[in-house]
Structure 1
């Protein structure tokens, strides 16, 4: 499949395609394997990502900030927060100065649940990254950080994709009646 899709492209474009495909497949496999591990341990649920983000923000996050980081809609987050709050893992507090906004704060039970999940995830990561040098891991992290930042900050990515998917027909260019 990769040879067919990259046929006629430069070696760099073929490598970019392989890397993009590998990132997508690796992320899906990791998510699937980790979900299986959570279910097997009786700790199912998609809440782990929300707790990881809250862990990095000890003062809490607004619902809007958390939804943005999780890349989910407000209503989806509300349902997830209802479950997390019912389990005692997080609490929603009114923000001082803005009674409409809610601050999501991780509770002690959330920290304990996150630690338990992180121990399992850490063991999986140790096994997954076994034999890969520190230098390779550092290089990979730098590349992934760059790609992630560009996906968030480059407004031209979408327009480049759209213009590439609608190329000007050769016949119109040849007659001079194409786009100008």
Structure 2
């Protein structure tokens, strides 16, 4: 397993452990982060688009957050079928707590690294992510040819 894969997996594991230990869950907090940028609220469709998840997943997350009192749903004026999901004060508090925990974790992980090292790392990761999203030669559904990338 590559260093990048190991680091990504360990980051996810440690993050999930830390967040669960503090009473948070990653996916609901991600939804709150999306809502924090939308003062008017967002529809389920807008949330699904921004989070790149299915409508059913959005519904489950919103149901969970609403039951916890972190968000509410309100009818969208002019469209009786759609509802806006709006973060409540309790959601703002939960997100701030989550972000403090995440910030402390990032500080421990990045301690001792120079800013230029982090800038270079982010540039490399952004380039890799962009190429993985846009380069058709890197998709497995392409016909295997002489330029196909081997598994492994």
What range is the shorter-chain TM-score in? 0.7 to 0.9
Report what 2:145 is aligned to: 167
Aligned-partner Cα distance in 2 for 1:157–1:53 = 32
Q: Is the 8 A contact 2:136 2:142 kept in 1?
A: no
- Tell me the SS of whatever aligns to 1:114: helix
The structure 2 residue matched to 1:129, chosen from 110, 115, 118, is 110
- Tell me the SS of whatever aligns to 1:163: coil
Which portions of structure 1, spanning 4 or more consecutive aligned residues, are displaced by more than 6 angstroms? none
TM-score where L is the length of structure 1: 0.68
C-alpha deviation, 1:77, in angstroms: 1.4
Report what 2:149 is aligned to: none
Report what 1:62 is aligned to: 43
CA displacement 1:102-127 (0-9 Å, x = unmatched): 22221111010011111111110001
Which structure 2 residues correspond to residues 1-180 of structure 1 after superposition, within 5 A? Answer: 22=4, 24-44=5-25, 46-152=27-133, 154=134, 156=136, 160-163=139-142, 166-167=144-145
Q: Identify unmatched segments of 5+ residues in structure 2.
A: 147-152
TM-score where L is the length of structure 2: 0.79
- More helix per residue: 1 or 2? 1
Could you say if the C-alpha distance between residues 89 and 73 of structure 1 is closer, same or farther in structure 2, counting changes exceeding 3 Å?
same
Tell me how large the CA RMSD over aligned residues is: 2.5
> Rg: which structure is higher?
1
Structure showing greater relative contact order (alpha-carbon pairs closer than 8 Å, 6 or more residues apart): 2
Could you say if the C-alpha distance between residues 25 and 67 of structure 1 is closer, same or farther in structure 2, counting changes exceeding 3 Å?
farther
Q: Is the 8 A contact 1:151 1:157 kept in 2?
A: no
